[in-house]
Amino acid sequence: MSSLFEELTLNLSVPGFLPFYPLAVIAGLLVAYLLGAIPVALIVSRAVAGIDIREHGSGNTGFTNALRVLGVGPGIVVLVFDILKGALGGLTMVGLLLISRDLIVGQWLASQAQTLSDPAAQEATLGFLSANLTGPLHDLPCAIALLASVLGHMFSPFMGFKGGKGIATGLGGLLVLMPVVALLALAVFMVFAFSVRIVSVGSLAAAFSLPFITWWMYPDSPTYIIFCSLTTLVLIFAHRQNIKRLIAGTEPRFSMKRGKES
């Protein structure tokens, strides 16, 4: 984290860094959370079947319950849009960071006549322009946005701060932030879920594997490793009831037929 502190200290003296960068980060986190909070399963259940999915099946507003209650087609729709809202949250953060970069560069150009005679300001500006917001100042907001979108899905203000488990939404954010990590975690999910036909087993296996895959792919990025570990803890917390049922041997197995589970 020292590199983050050094990067932040270096750029605080760059004209325009305040307020553009912190405003971009705050706006990006808010958008990521609100996108994650969109109750896709509730919307689809009302549109397709005229029901409130929270009153059927497990009462969860995620892909698994949508598959059980509504069937394969609507379930896939829920899955796709849950992934999409996580991806859009990540893309929004990246886009806002790029916009803030352009605004900061513009502010620096406007004040160039004053800063060129100041060696310290020149060094700070060149440091910012060379970093181009691709180092820690890019990684940290994007990693937090991933966590924000998952928390939005789990604690949606549109449903009394309740929601789903966050796996699909987290996958969407990972596809933007670390696509290879996302695909490897998805592979872990599929292997475990389809081996035992229990979605929660696949979800938990993918969640547990996430920090290790991240460490393997990004060994020099403590930001990604730390926040992926935090995301894992949040996902495990969301699956606490599933864990109890797995221990008791009562967790249902999935079937691709509507209303069928064993």
**Residue ranges for the chain with pLDDT beneath 70:** 1-2, 112-134, 255-262
Q: What is the pLDDT of residue 12?
A: 80
What digits encode the pLDDT tens for the residues 154-170?
999 999 999 999 999 99
Spatial distance between the Cα atoms of 44 and 172, rounded to a whole number of angstroms: 19
Q: CB–CB of 198/253 below 8 Å?
A: yes
Q: What is the pLDDT of residue 192?
A: 97
Q: What is the pLDDT of residue 260?
A: 47
Q: What is the pLDDT of residue 107?
A: 83
Q: What is the pLDDT of residue 262?
A: 46
- The Cα-based distances of 141 to 17, 219, 223, 227 in angstroms read 15, 19, 10, 10
| 186: CB partners within 8 A, 6+ apart | 171, 206
Spatial distance between the Cα atoms of 10 and 121, rounded to a whole number of angstroms: 9
| 27: CB partners within 8 A, 6+ apart | 96
Q: What is the pLDDT of residue 101?
A: 85
Q: What is the pLDDT of residue 115?
A: 55
Q: What is the pLDDT of residue 258?
A: 46
Q: CB–CB of 211/184 below 8 Å?
A: no
Say what the pTM is: 0.90
Q: What is the pLDDT of residue 255?
A: 61
What digits encode the pLDDT tens for the residues 195-244?
999 999 999 999 999 999 999 999 988 999 999 999 999 999 999 999 99
User: Quick check: helix, strand or coil at residue 16?
Assistant: strand
User: Quick check: helix, strand or coil at residue 256?
Assistant: coil
Q: How many residues does the chain have?
A: 262
| 167: CB partners within 8 A, 6+ apart | 62, 63, 189, 203, 206, 207, 235
Return phi, psi of residue 116, to 5°.
-60, -30
Q: What is the pLDDT of residue 110?
A: 77
